[in-house]
Amino acid sequence: MMLYKEPAPIKDRENPFESMMSRFNIAAEVLGLDEETYNVLKSPARQVIVNVPVTMDDGKVRVFEGYRVVHSTILGPSKGGIRYAPDVFLDEVKALAAWMTWKCAVVDIPYGGAKGGIICDPYSMSAGEIERLTRAYTSSLVDIFGPDRDIPAPDMGTGPREMAWLMDEYSKTKGSTEHGVVTGKPLVLGGSLGRVEATGRGVMVSAMAAMEKLGMDPAKSTAAVQGFGNVGSWAAKLMAERGVKILGVSDVSGAYWNDNGIDIEEAIEYKNGNNGRLEGYKGAEQIDPAELLTSKVDVLVPAAVEDVITIHNVDKIQARLIVEGANGPTSYKADNIINEKGIMVVPDILANSGGVTVSYFEWVQNRMGFKWTLDRVNERAERIMNESFERVYAASQKYNVPMRIAAYIVAIDKVAMTYKYRGGF
């Protein structure tokens, strides 16, 4: 096998917002969505661009560009993470915001969709710089955020630490402690048990549900997981616990393969003691990251970034089942070939919705001022994931469409119906 050469998997130049809209258009047509509702849902309700000055450790002021896009508030306050990345751009945030609307609708929680982003490289910034950036961004968006208006959460490049700063900054402006303004907080600040692993757990639950439909025995199945961050590592660990042999995993440092299955617990332990990276991991051989996606496994879990399954590699995919831990890992143009090949896809807006589901539980607990046990969180999240899977599966049978389009149909139908009841202007 070839040795690792490139830092990132093959990337297509497809525009993520257009990719999202192409699926939306197909589902809208199948549903026979009326023009008025179509026009309401096709563009974000609000897009805010902020430029926030931050004093860096060397005393110089740098101005960072940030975004918050509220796609829809039809189902309730908008919900969605904040991404810190050097290459985040507005059309990506718009797509991610719309995906949040569909995601919340698929799992039937009372939220609209939003997403935020800041162009920055958090890995090259000090904790102090990230804190000042997070506070400045929060303070410039204080009129957008709110426990009943728009509720951020972690996404790529952010975690409980950033959410704590956001909550604190927002609370200071309001003069009262506002736990419910953000989810994914540290436990001591009103975070929920089970939130950290929630997305990965939901990916595992979706994978199990899909395997059952396909008549696959988890204990006789193999998988490859792209991305070994929070989502990928938890999904791999929990799938391995159900008997699935994880043959390959990858992160930004490269891809790792073991024909006998990777010891996921050991790999996680290694990564935790190695600055969050698998670099130098000895429990597997290093392979070309591009090969991981096309390797001979039964289940493929892309859990990293957008557009990694594209027309450039989709022909070579050998998995029978793809479970999308990431948002938008499959480009629109690859959809048809996947369908022709008869591969089942549990789409992002269903497969990774465990995260926002437990975010919702966190917000509910904040409003109740009462903490749930881990069992309660996991049991309720699992029930929601399974019910949502069945809803989407039933729609795919009813309309004779792939699971991705079925998920959009379920989501758009719910949002459109709610819009009808609420009425326009």
Asked whether 119 and 85 are in contact (CB, 8 A), the reply is yes
**Residue span binding ligand GLU (CB under 6 A) among the ranges 133-141, 286-294, 348-356, 376-384:** 348-356
Shortest distance in whole angstroms from residue 354 CB to ligand GLU: 9
Q: Which of 15, 233, 359, 388 binds ligand GLU (CB under 6 A)?
A: 359
Backbone angles phi, psi at 373, to 5 degrees: -75, 160
Task: Report, in Å, the least distance between residue 220 CB and ligand GLU.
Answer: 31
Q: Angle of helix 16-31 relative to helix 403-422, nearest 10 degrees?
A: 70
Near ligand GLU by CB under 6 A: residue from 327, 365, 366, 378:
327
Task: Name 251's bridge partners.
Answer: 254
Size of the residue set binding ligand GLU (CB under 6 A):
11
Per-residue binder mask for ligand GLU (CB under 6 A), 149-178, x = binder: ----x-x-----------------------
Give every CB contact of residue 377 below 8 A, 6+ residues apart in sequence.
Answer: 192, 193, 194, 195, 198, 358, 361
Scored b (16 or more CB within 10 A) or e, 305-337 reads bbbbbbebbbeebebbbbbbbbbbbbbbbbbee
Cβ pair 313, 337 in contact under 8 A: no
Taking the least distance from each CB to ligand GLU, the nearer of 79 and 271 is: 79
- Hey, which residues between 180 and 199 contact ligand GLU (CB under 6 A)? 183
Rule CB under 6 A: choose which of 70, 355, 402, 403 binds ligand GLU. Answer: 355
CB-based burial of residue 282 (10 Å sphere; 0-12 exposed, 13-18 middle, 19+ buried)? exposed
CA nearest to 142, candidates 198, 104, 181: 181
Among 80, 200, 232, 328, binds ligand GLU (CB under 6 A): 80
User: In this chain, which residue has its C-beta nearest to ligand GLU?
Assistant: 81
- Pick 33 or 308: Cβ nearer ligand GLU: 308
Tell me: does residue 79 bind ligand GLU (CB under 6 A).
yes
- Which 8-state DSSP code applies to residue 69? E
> Do 164 and 185 touch, CB atoms closer than 8 A?
yes
Angstrom distances, CA of residue 313 to CA of 228, 294, 332, 334, 384: 21, 7, 13, 9, 33
Question: Applying CB under 6 A, does 81 fall inside the site for ligand GLU?
Answer: yes
Handedness of CA 414, 418, 421, 424 (dihedral sign): negative
414 binds ligand GLU (CB under 6 A): no
**Residue 218 within binding range of ligand GLU, rule CB under 6 A:** no
Q: Does 306 bind ligand GLU (CB under 6 A)?
A: no
State the nearest-atom distance from the C-beta of 115 to ligand GLU, in Å: 8
**Hey, which residues are catalytic here?**
115
What is the smallest separation between the CB atom of 195 and ligand GLU, expressed in angstroms?
A: 8
Sequence letter at residue 141: L
Cα torsion 333, 13, 291, 99: sign: negative
Is the CB of 160 or the CB of 248 nearer to ligand GLU? 160
Nearer to ligand GLU, 203 or 262 (CB): 203
* Residue numbers at the binding site for ligand GLU (CB under 6 A): 79-81, 153, 155, 183, 327, 352, 355-356, 359
